[in-house]
Structure 1
């Protein structure tokens, strides 16, 4: 084939793509118009894999070009979390987004949200949105129907109060270690907030998954430890490090797969290591599963962690693998399904909690009054300086800490959208006393950043005010519910996050570790007052961009300084 013919072929590809996009956009616009709802057109499909890979680079370039403000606001991934309620204030409770790749219905209405969540057979989960989590096969996040019921039954019994008690203790310990790192080992000011919170949540997760405790170390310290090992595998850190690598390289794992990553010499070394990490994690968990099943067959009890709990919960009845039973019943979940569910728990729980903690600390740095407010409560309930006396039962008493967590998730949710689909049939919604027919194959997204900030439901909804969730004066205060018609950070009903209590306990405990006796403040830039620095940090805390999840766009620009304070004595009632 001549160079000219090759040139024609490659020139035709963009033209063919543009033509296909135009045709499908017109078709999708006709479908969207049939609803009678307001429509906004996007010429790029947000779920396009090519756009997902290229958009960060395109957006960085666009920021330096004139007249791109509207383009960035419209097409930046995670624009819903950045814009929050503003599009719905302008366009209404329901509106359609029409793209070449399909139509999206955006929902910001408490009653319609409740209706969609109740009609689970009409508005099913959009499994395509969770395809990235099928690294080890089907799991709770990527199954539906009877398969989902099996996974849900087991997961509901996996997160126990004993496990939450372990999370409380480990979060206090690792949180204190992270604080000591910021105080003494890190060169001031601290600019690694997002990195360090991921190490914190990873350590807590490893303790909950495998019952293995790790000291806090920064990424630089971790890399130095690996270099000192001179190529030998550090078995003590193997569990945690393999999981860390998988979570960090989830996109290339999704695109290339485990085997191709391991065998392709031409790929970056970090990607090839990710392929080996997928195999290592499988081997680690398989060994633990086999060990637990052997103990279960002998009628013995192992230390309760998520692996052992999941194995025991997956056996039919009250433990079918009993001593002397040569033919145990078939487990509810297979070994591969257990591994896949454990990975999903790790993926869903690690980054979401780390991102939330990053936002919390940034907001707290901007609000010294909230730091004092929280610290006062912590001292009231945990008045003894001996940390061993801070019991898990105290966790529920720290209502101001819970309020800080709730308010942060209200304003900056890592997921943002509860994603459903109409499936292969049109579905009807009642809106303004009329029936609105939503066409088949429409993605339906309950827009949490809008619902949880809309002025109809929230006073000063775009500002961070933890007091929104506290009622009453003095102790005991009343904490508002974490399930309201306009506040659904962990979803609701059968679709509620199984690790909800896990994440709540983890975040409350780390707030205790960080803010009982210490404070954090931003480091002003040149010529900046402290008040201006606090306002800048709050702006950065609200500035969100989607990578895999919605997270702070430029956390490295938040420079912090920690210091210890002398506490006044809080008078306690007899």
Structure 2
């Protein structure tokens, strides 16, 4: 138990990770693509032949490079041209004969065009994290209700299962893989429908199998195929299955259907399903309140008319996030209609206005509008946002089509949209933007308050654009253009003519508000910089002798008062912002990153720690102002304030989240929630590093660090950990009952020696804390140890400044300079080896040298280039080395297996050692939280049944420590029980091989982080920790030495427990006073 904190820090070491790819079996009624095959990480995917394009559906783990390899089957020649949509993605493909190859780390929805072949649509989802079991309490498997999964008959088993599940609110109807032909399906309140990957719900296409609900005068009779019951709540449809509308055949039978219709319901959720071949509108939320659609794939045919993708109708607070919609008609749109007319006859309520609808992170392909408000505006439509979208092809890119109704369309935003191709002319308006009012025989109305921001129109269409009203009472007004880039221009448009918007009758109040640089920095921004950045000089103030001490006192008091007033004003302003989001709030009078507070707070809390007051009895601003407060709080803050709450200071709002689904959403939306690089800038002690790299630069830093640490060196990690642990055991056993002088120093030394051997090819023998060392090892090890012990001071004050200050600070500064000189020497040696064609030392340094070499070659070829580079500068190398070494030296491993143990044979068998390691990481993660910040536009986050819209520049923190000690997810959550990780534990030694290792649910245990920038050190840290633990406890044991002969076992345990739980956060978690407890190592 004593080593749980020390071992936990091992998790930050670098290693490679495995990426899982999930393919979904192709149903027998679908044909395989005759044009394309796709392999992902070497596994063949199930392609589907389709009308107008072919497609494939799969899921992948995110955060690791995954290779995609398309092979053209209908042509044997080399690929001559290709495109991958969205073009704005950083995907760099290469042609290898008749194959197109690329890698990506995040799931995307892609449209690939190769030569003159039809398009190939690749829909990639994140791996499921919430898939239920097929059997169990609260699970209603449709096969138990005689559902026919062969597709030979129209089955009623799914409805029977749904009706039975409705009697137990919160239940799940489980649909396994198979083909199910079904009639109308009614989704019941507080019940979920789960469609497993490979399952297909199929519309028969026969009118006699369905209930007629409406008639459309220009088409046919129609129905709602899968709908919610009226006045229902908390319904969810999810999984990786398919809803197949059989639309082409249905229309041949003069019938049609909306496929998925949440109607008259609240708190509806839809995630992951694939909807295809609709005969009318595919997904239609009607008169809904609070709905969220995620990972939605709508793949309609391009030869069936009026088959809209998703139309949000008369609803409030609806979000569509991460979706692709391919259709003949509009891909994404909103509408409001008249009462009980045509398709509105079955609507449950009288007509309602539409508001607060968001479409984000979407891809559109259509012959009509990509993104549209209208045609129906019979009730007001307000606050509709389309953002972060791509139009692969459309007749009209974006627009508002006010053709029916007399109400306003107002508060509409089109933002961050890339329009790639335009073709056709729906209604005679083939253009990138059409905002217009027409007379469709049902009245006219105005369009007001429109924002069109950050649009890239690669194609403007073959018609002039529209900002056109109908008459003096139905104008288009209040339109703002900001950063619209036309036809590849690098400068934003500044006139309607530049944007080809020439149809402008009955329009007014048109403005341009392109981005511009501010000429001054506000006081608040200056103060933030003071809070976040280290001092780069010592400021010496000298006052004229005429200035009296009283005057100086008045000035200082005035400055302090002004700063205090400013802090209070800013704090209350931020509190109001946080409360406007609907979040519980905790106040911090001083920001946690304020450099003065960082220096002062250890002294303040050392006094508080001596008081006989329970930690949780202090007010929240006292508890949350402490650096590393997560460890003392565990999950208490979230148990008191809820799964999401805001920690507010004068300079920031930091939203803390402890909800698995919300954390998964945040960490996978790389462009929406980014690393807070401004705050992390302080970590650049030796230069830019992986911890402070923005996303475009992060792969450059990661590659030379991660490449050497793959599975091929794990045997070396195993062997070196074993050798060092043996040396440590020899040193420890010399002290017998006197106890180990400093196990903290010794374990640090062990870690540094493993690092030096594996990472830099410089093996050293283990030397205990009381043993003298030779100069080279001592200087190198001591300088690094000094840097780590005084890291906060060095991050605030540069070591060159510290060298000028006498005493201890000068020694710290000299250590910083000395450590850098070691890195310079190692880098020079590896560079010389590279130039002479020698192998080098192995480990991490050759990778860095190659990166430096590439950096210089790129710079020499184009010294002024501002584009993305692949190599690293020398300063960046030093920054990365320090970040990596700091993570390693803070990590600790104790123990070592027998010399003849083989890594590949023994490591998988040591499940109990892994359990000790994992349980330690659960209670003492090296870093207690994962920080991020909202990007350049507001973001929506859903926690439970609420969706929060968060402004730009707000910090998010995924509270790792809370999730790993939350009683909702862990039993005995505060207790150290490694046995929780072993499933079906063996009763005898012969049964050990039958034990299995517990795999927790996604995002309740993530000590290595989550998302695209996950720490790649999982494998290496496990190998090192398991090797050391196995050796340490093979023939020895550790015990706590009593303070005196009279000390009771209970008193010894209390002293031990206090020491173990007395941790703080410097760069990583550490024991504050480890050596206050004496440990004895003895043979078992």
Cα deviation for residue 59 of structure 1 reads 0.8
Query: 1:246 aligned to 2:784?
Result: no
Higher alpha-carbon deviation: 150-159 or 457-466: 150-159
Which position in structure 2 is the counterpart of 1:371?
none
Equivalent position to 2:686, from 122, 128, 136: 136
Query: 1:541 aligned to 2:1060?
Result: yes
Inter-CA distance 392–310: structure 2 relative to 1 (3 Å threshold): farther
**CA-based RMSD:** 2.8
Query: 1:343 aligned to 2:882?
Result: yes
Cα deviation for residue 314 of structure 1 reads 7.1
SS of structure 2 residue aligned to 1:435 = strand
Normalising by the residue count of structure 1, what TM-score does the alignment of the two structures yield? 0.83
Inter-CA distance 557–275: structure 2 relative to 1 (3 Å threshold): closer
Cα deviation for residue 484 of structure 1 reads 3.1
Inter-CA distance 241–388: structure 2 relative to 1 (3 Å threshold): farther
The structure in which a higher percent of residues are helix is: 1
Cα deviation for residue 97 of structure 1 reads 0.9
TM superposition outliers: structure 1 runs of 4+ over 4 Å:
65-69, 236-239, 263-267, 312-316
Higher alpha-carbon deviation: 71-80 or 261-270: 261-270
Which position in structure 2 is the counterpart of 1:475?
992
Higher RCO (CA 8 Å, separation ≥ 6 residues):
1
Q: Could you list the per-position Cα deviations for residues 393-449 of structure 1 after superposition, in whole angstroms to 9, with x for gaps in the alignment?
A: 422321111111111010111210111111443321112322212233221111111
Partners of 1:407 and 1:464 within 8 A in 2: yes
Which position in structure 1 is the counterpart of 2:751?
201
Higher alpha-carbon deviation: 418-427 or 238-247: 238-247
Return the alpha-carbon distance in structure 1 between the equivalents of residues 810 and 646 of structure 2: 43
Which position in structure 1 is the counterpart of 2:1081?
562
Aligned positions, number? 516
Q: Could you list the per-position Cα deviations for residues 354-373 of structure 1 after superposition, in whole angstroms to 9, with x for gaps in the alignment?
A: 3xx5xxx8xxxxxxxxxxxx
Q: How does 1:165-314 map to 2 (within 5 A)?
A: 165-185=715-735, 188-190=738-740, 192-221=742-771, 224-225=772-773, 234-265=775-806, 268-295=809-836, 298=837, 300-312=838-850
Return the alpha-carbon distance in structure 2 between the equivalents of residues 341 and 550 of structure 1: 20
Cα deviation for residue 252 of structure 1 reads 3.0
Normalising by the residue count of structure 2, what TM-score does the alignment of the two structures yield? 0.45
Higher alpha-carbon deviation: 212-221 or 469-478: 212-221
Which position in structure 2 is the counterpart of 1:516?
1034
Q: Could you list the per-position Cα deviations for residues 296-333 of structure 1 after superposition, in whole angstroms to 9, with x for gaps in the alignment?
A: xx3x43342221244357777xxx99xxxxxxxx9733
Partners of 2:643 and 2:943 within 8 A in 1: no
Q: How does 1:403-552 map to 2 (within 5 A)?
A: 403-472=915-984, 473=986, 474-476=991-993, 477-481=995-999, 484-526=1002-1044, 527-552=1046-1071
The structure in which a higher percent of residues are strand is: 2
Cα deviation for residue 39 of structure 1 reads 1.0
Inter-CA distance 550–389: structure 2 relative to 1 (3 Å threshold): closer
Inter-CA distance 412–397: structure 2 relative to 1 (3 Å threshold): same
5+ residue gaps, structure 1, are 227-233, 322-329, 362-374, 566-574
Return the alpha-carbon distance in structure 1 between the equivalents of residues 737 and 822 of structure 2: 34
Return the alpha-carbon distance in structure 2 between the equivalents of residues 130 and 10 of structure 1: 31
Return the alpha-carbon distance in structure 2 between the equivalents of residues 518 and 401 of structure 1: 15
Which position in structure 2 is the counterpart of 1:332?
871
Cα deviation for residue 225 of structure 1 reads 4.1
Partners of 2:933 and 2:954 within 8 A in 1: yes
Partners of 2:684 and 2:879 within 8 A in 1: yes
Q: Could you list the per-position Cα deviations for residues 232-284 of structure 1 after superposition, in whole angstroms to 9, with x for gaps in the alignment?
A: xx235554444333323323332222432344457623223223224313322
Return the alpha-carbon distance in structure 2 between the equivalents of residues 55 and 548 of structure 1: 16
Inter-CA distance 187–277: structure 2 relative to 1 (3 Å threshold): farther
Return the alpha-carbon distance in structure 2 between the equivalents of residues 311 and 498 of structure 1: 20
Inter-CA distance 313–400: structure 2 relative to 1 (3 Å threshold): farther
SS of structure 2 residue aligned to 1:196 = helix
Cα deviation for residue 498 of structure 1 reads 2.4
Equivalent position to 2:630, from 58, 80, 83: 80
Which position in structure 1 is the counterpart of 2:196?
none
Inter-CA distance 525–207: structure 2 relative to 1 (3 Å threshold): same
SS of structure 1 residue aligned to 2:918 = helix
Partners of 1:85 and 1:453 within 8 A in 2: yes
SS of structure 2 residue aligned to 1:96 = strand
Partners of 1:162 and 1:304 within 8 A in 2: no
Which position in structure 2 is the counterpart of 1:553?
1072
Equivalent position to 1:112, from 656, 662, 671: 662
Return the alpha-carbon distance in structure 2 between the equivalents of residues 333 and 91 of structure 1: 44
Q: Could you list the per-position Cα deviations for residues 82-124 of structure 1 after superposition, in whole angstroms to 9, with x for gaps in the alignment?
A: 2111111121111111112311111111100100011011110
Query: 1:147 aligned to 2:683?
Result: no
Higher alpha-carbon deviation: 165-174 or 182-191: 182-191
Which position in structure 1 is the counterpart of 2:604?
58
Inter-CA distance 76–482: structure 2 relative to 1 (3 Å threshold): same
Inter-CA distance 291–86: structure 2 relative to 1 (3 Å threshold): same
SS of structure 2 residue aligned to 1:475 = helix
Partners of 1:191 and 1:555 within 8 A in 2: no
Partners of 1:28 and 1:100 within 8 A in 2: yes
